[in-house]
Structures are given as structure tokens and as C-alpha cells.
Amino acid sequence: MNPLELFPEAAKWNIKKLVKDINELRDRFHHKAKLSEIYQCYLCGKLAGYENKDIAQKLNKLKPVTEGAIKTACTEEINQYIKQLLRRPDELEKTMNWARACVLLEKAGYRTESQPESKDFPATKSPLESEEKTDNISLKNNEDERHPNFVTKGTTDELVANIRRSNYKNIQQQYGKIQLLYVSQPVNIDYLYVDVNLLSEPNNYSHLRIEDLLQNHDLREDFNRLGLPKQLQRISAVTALTEYPRLMVLGKPGSGKTTFLRHTIVECNNSNILSDYVSVLIELKDFARRVKNTGRFSLKCYLDYYLKGCSSEEIKTLLEEGRFLLLLDGLDEVAEEDGDNVVNEINDFMHEFGQNKLIISCRIQSLKYRFDGFTYVELADFGQEQVINFSQKYFNCINTSLNQNQDKVKTKTGEFIKQLELPENKSIRDLAVTPILLSLICKTFSYQNTFYSKRHELYEHCLEILLSEWDETRNYKRDKLNNYLTLEDKKKLLRYIAYL
């Protein structure tokens, strides 16, 4: 099936170059295969000025195809890459108006010659001239005809449901499992996740004098808790998600920020929370890296590439209706040179689409930017009940992979909790309040049935995780200073601070 034989009017376009460029974008952004022959036929039909029903009528002589299938295929497989290729998304944002797209493609050099006259397809059916004919017609009266994917408020709920269905499998595959430190295989996030609490006020908001810090503290026993308020109001994460439209979730290294956001999108995906929203999780370092290729930091455009089963204009409709839950992970992981651009885009996005729910995560000590209208909270340390719950789930995951029965799991968990509660293990309990360090402690116990025989080895291992290993496992490098400091250099600095 030769697309140009079916649609000879498209011969005025450099189809070979256009298809090649589209394929490069498909591979770069979504790792998709090259445009199939049938998709190339759709592309040529659109460039030749045909409507979906006319393309279907021509193709049905060779292969059964419906008008709806062509519309869906163009939306998912062609349109978004045309917009990306032109780097002019604003001009095509309301709809994939092929008349306007043809004008921009011609300016971009994809047209090889002037449009030939055709007996069967007169110039009045040209997309360029069709656009001129509608100039004196109001957009409101002509919207449905010019924009086949136009969505009214009456169909918003249905559109949300359709997008959720189209993206359900992808979200489950992408975020349904997590990789534990020192565990070879990923585990189902629901098998390990423990409900977390949030502090209503981040700890770094407390400004105390040295004498205040030292008051009522036994430095030998409480040094690692020095300066932390005795009591802060805790709220459940689910409550915060439903009550606050804009949430900045802060946390220490390894406190579970990313896991919290991943669990949130999976729960939303399974309709356990916020089932009337379209949820999207964006890793900000990945967002910054990808949009560098376009030269435009746009969350709206990124959603166009991310979501399946919907057009750009449908996404904009839902944004205007406030039906998105955007989870932006790792503000602290954005490269220094991209930080201002990313923050400016978040602010611009909120200004235009502030009616949507937005959650950002960031390391508490790395927060350099302030956002208006956000509620700032901090992931709370695990309490005793959460430590027990997590350890039970951890040993269950580990021992299931080793084909051990549930009785052994219960025995292992019981012995772990018993030893952890011993007075001589108080310092280990203090470390176990952080998920990443609790994982390390559980991992060690699962093999040895005891904690580190030499306590300083545990401290050193925990320090190495916090200083370097946790970032290395995610292939992330922080600011330029960190590139010049080895792990040993960082340890020396900490020794010097401790001595002071």
C-alpha cells in the first residue's frame, strides 16, 4: 500500500523527510516504533486535505478501517509529534487544526512544490483555503466542525473516565512496583507501603537559639533529636491530599517522598482516592532533560506527550476544569542550570491552570524556592506502629521471594521487634524512623538474625547511604560542589563539624 498512490495530492509534501523526523521524536519521547504504512496513509490523507471519513472511504477499498479509528490513531500516533516537530505548540493548542498545521509545516520547509490542480479534489477543499473561508465565522458557532475533538462541560466526566482507562495499564506498569535498596527484584508497592503522616509545620521552620536547643536535652541520649520540637501536629497523608489543593511535601533523604507520590498515583489510578481526577506523576529532572530538546519548558506540552487516548485540546479542557492531579517529584534533583526555568514554568502553569491539584516533593534542606498558595508539610518520622508494620511487610516480601512460609515470616518479625525494643538498641530505634535506614536494618537482620555486632559499622553504612549511595542508585548527581567531593571528603567535613 503506497500512501502517495492513494493520496497523490500529498506529493507536494516531502513525506519521506516528515516521516523520518516524526519517527525520531516517537523514539526519543516514547520509544515507539516507526510509523506504520497505515499511519503514513493517515498522514498523507490529512496533508492532502481529506476528512477522516474520506480517508476511511479510500482505505476501505484495501483494508477495513473506521472513521473513529483514524481519529484515535492520528491523536495518539501523529498529532502530538507534528506539534513537537514544529516547536509552535501554542498555535495548535486549542485543536489539531490541520489547516494551520499545513501552514506551519510549509514554513518549516516540508513542502516541496506548489499545490497541483486536481479534478477530483478542487482547491476549495484545500486545508489552507478552508481555513480562509472560516475567518469570518465565529469560533463559537463553528467550533465543533473545525475541532472534531472539542469537549463540552457536559462530557467532562466521561472524558476523565476515558483518559483514566487509556492510561491505567501504563501507570500500573510504571509505578506499581518499587526497587528496594540491596534487593535484586522490584516489589509491588502495595505489599510494602505503610501509611504515612505529615507534620503540619516543617521542622526547619523552627528558629531556636543554642541555649534553647540545649534545654532539657541529655546530649548523650538525645543528640540525634537535638533541636526538633517535642510535639508537632500530625495529619494523615490522605487527609492532606483531599483538603489542600497545593501541597509542598518536604522530607529528609530516604524519608519516602518518591514512594509516597508513587503510591498516591497508583491509589488514584485504582479509584481508591480522588477518582474524579486524571493523575500524572512527573519526575522533574526527567522533565527538564526532555524539554531541553524542544527549548521550551512547558508542563502543558509535556502532558500532551505523556497521556494516551486524548488530544491536546481535550487536555486543555480538563486543565481549565481543574480535573488534573499533578505530582511533581524531586524539585531538589533538577540540575542547577535548569532550576529557574523549571520554577518559572511551575509558576506560569499555576497562574494559568491554578484550579488543578498540585503536589511537589523536595528535600527539606534543598528547598531554595517559595511558591505562593502552597501548604508546606514534612513527611513525619515513622512511629512505633509504622516501624512494626513496615518490618512485617519487608520480611514478608523478602521471605516470599525465598519461598519461606508465613510462620517463618511471623517468627522473624517477632524476633526483630523484640530485639529492637531492647534498651541497648535505642540508638538503632532512633535510626529506624527513616524508611531507607529501616530497610537496611531489616535487610541485615534477615540474614544474621541480629543487628550489627559492631555498632559503628551500622552508623558508617547509614552515613554512606545518605551521602552517596541513595543518589547513585537513581543515577543522580547533585550540585557541582558534590562532584568535587568524594565520600571520604564528606566524612572528613562531618568529623570536623562534630569536633567543633
Which strands make up the sheet holding 278-283, listed edge to edge? 234-236, 197-199, 375-379, 246-251, 357-363, 324-329, 278-283
pLDDT of res. 408: 76
Give dist(CA 315, CA 320) in Å, integer. Answer: 9
> What is the phi/psi pair of residue 177, to 5°?
-130, 155
pLDDT at res. 6 = 86
The pTM is what? 0.61
Phi/psi region, residue 493 (left: phi>0; alpha: psi -120 to 50; beta: rest), is alpha
Of 85, 114, 96, nearest in space to 19 by CA: 85
d(CA 352, CA 211): 47
What is the full per-residue pLDDT of the chain (500 aa) written as tens digits? Answer: 688 888 888 888 998 889 988 888 777 666 667 888 888 888 898 888 888 888 888 888 777 777 777 777 777 678 777 877 776 544 444 456 777 788 888 888 888 754 443 333 333 333 333 333 333 333 333 333 333 334 444 478 889 988 999 999 999 999 999 877 666 678 889 888 999 999 988 865 554 455 555 555 555 555 455 544 455 678 888 889 888 999 999 998 888 999 999 999 999 998 889 989 999 999 998 888 877 766 666 899 889 888 988 888 899 999 999 999 999 999 988 888 888 888 999 999 999 999 999 999 998 877 777 888 999 999 999 999 999 999 988 888 876 655 556 677 788 888 999 999 998 888 888 888 988 888 888 887 877 777 765 556 666 666 665 555 545 554 555 555 555 666 667 666 766 665 55
The per-residue pLDDT for 264 is 95
